[in-house]
Structure 1
């Protein structure tokens, strides 16, 4: 994997974290805290952090609100990506996406397979773009959050990471909305 291009200056990204859980409060939210800690350690800005219950409409409404907020560049959710009846985070994300980043799910599955073997098939991690904002839905385990951040997002959210990264195309994410 390519390293950091030292000729480029680091660009901090403003990231909101959403934990989806019917049972956790802020004190018990280890996955959300894991993401918050890694975001700040990487030099990015924790723009907001919330916990919501597994309710599709409420999750989608929060995602839309953050996408409309010019102070938020990226949203990372944790939890609600499994196969049970209450797991609706993926559906809520897809209600909001303008474009899905299919390769994010594929790459996350590859990373997970290396750690947890065939149990990786139960993950429905997903990524997409809406209103010029990146959105990523991760499983609720701290291990999955660490894997997604350490193996994928820390690199793709770093402008210095060659040959390409999510940050360098920020200005073009909503080009279709601008008048020509």
Structure 2
């Protein structure tokens, strides 16, 4: 077709073409004859390991996904599949945006809850130890006096035929030793008039 146009569009029939041998000193000399026509966008020719290869943007630009995702060459151009974990997530066309994952917040609030619980336990232990030391400093009779006020002996006693058949419950602090099973109040300091 080019020869026909050179001779003013005369019909030409070529039966034999002879080319002179070309000397290729460097494979880079073939650059004008190499073209990437694979139907993929942004593919370019690259000389690699002594041969020409069609290379997509993912290989040309290793940081295309900002090292937060995996790059894939598709027909429309490069796309990124962003990395995700329970602690962090990357998103955006080139994985350039960052947000915390659910696991990060779960760990954060779990640690805060455990810290608060630990502080509460420490406060309770300190209060108990201080009260225990306060009771240790008191003389034994005084410590027991606070217990005796609330101590009741709820064992049944059979008082015999004088008090009927119902059992009698006794308060050991208020029992008069002379009459077992009968409550005897100590009213020496009480005005009973």
TM-score by length of 2: 0.17
- Bigger CA radius of gyration: 2
Normalized per residue, the structure richer in helix is: 1
TM-score by length of 1: 0.18
Higher relative contact order (CA 8 A, sep 6+): 1
